[in-house]
Amino acid sequence: MIHKAVILAAGKGTRMRELTDEMPKPMLPVRGKPILEHIVTGMRDAGITDFCIITGWHAEKIETYFGDGMAFGVKISYIRQETQDGTGSSVALARDFVGGEHFLMSYGDIMVEKPIYAGIVKRFSEGSFDGTVSVLGDTQLNKALGLFLFDADFVLAHLIEKPSDDEIAELHKEGWLKKGDTFWYNAGIFVFPPSIFKYLSRIKKSPRGEYELMDALTLAIRDKERYAGCMIKGSWADVRDPEILASLQ
């Protein structure tokens, strides 16, 4: 049973413009509650009892609101990411919190229906898997998203962040993609094993100057770790800009 979760809530969310001048994006309200509260209570209902929230931009707003978590029926601790240099370094901060356990992880701006968290954990328990990746399926190619490719058992076999036209052509040439295939995109919620920290310690900064969590996952897949895919069934939103925020109200 998984009972720990790590939530990444350190970033400013610059695409939110003035909305995040004095407030971290995960604290922006949706239907009367902060985005982050929807995440915490959804995970709680899936059996998560122990949370580590990675804070940064206006960290005190999150830490004051949630406190030790008792008011929400959970235990919450915090780690501040002093330098905003990527999702990889953000997750790496939680190594001591995680210890030797598997853990649920979510970006702090992903909103889903509450039962989806339980579904992701359930998918992990269905076989001899190292972890779980959540995905959204679409018949249309979106080169702005992380593309996940699976084997016949729907276990992650390859991934590529924001693929270029040349990379897509190569995926077709190598047989990773075929005409009529569903494109599977990173939905931002995972079950990770403690071994992810080994790979996080090995990654280098990406061309955009950040340590990328997906680079660590790529290394894990190359080492034949098995990450089961879990299709998101129900509402999902990456609350990345004011227009999406408004649409959720």
Pairing of strands 4-9, 103-107: parallel
Tens digit of pLDDT for each residue in 154-166? 999 999 888 888 8
pTM metric for this prediction: 0.95
Find the angle CA(14)-CA(206)-CA(134) to the nearest 5 degrees.
70
User: Phi-psi bin for 24: left (phi > 0), alpha (psi -120 to 50), beta?
Assistant: beta
* Torsion angle, alpha carbons of 117, 93, 193, 185, to 10: 50
Which contiguous run of DSSP H or E holds residue 167?
A: helix 165-173
**Which amino acid, one-letter code, is at 208?**
R
Tens digit of pLDDT for each residue in 117-126? 999 999 999 9
CB atoms within 10 A of CB 17: 10
- The model's confidence at residue 212, banded by pLDDT at 50, 70 and 90, is very high
Residue 192 Cα distances to 34, 52, 64, 221, angstroms: 25, 14, 28, 12
Domains of the chain with CATH codes: 4-241 (3.90.550.10)
Return d(Cα 190, Cα 58) in angstroms, integer: 25
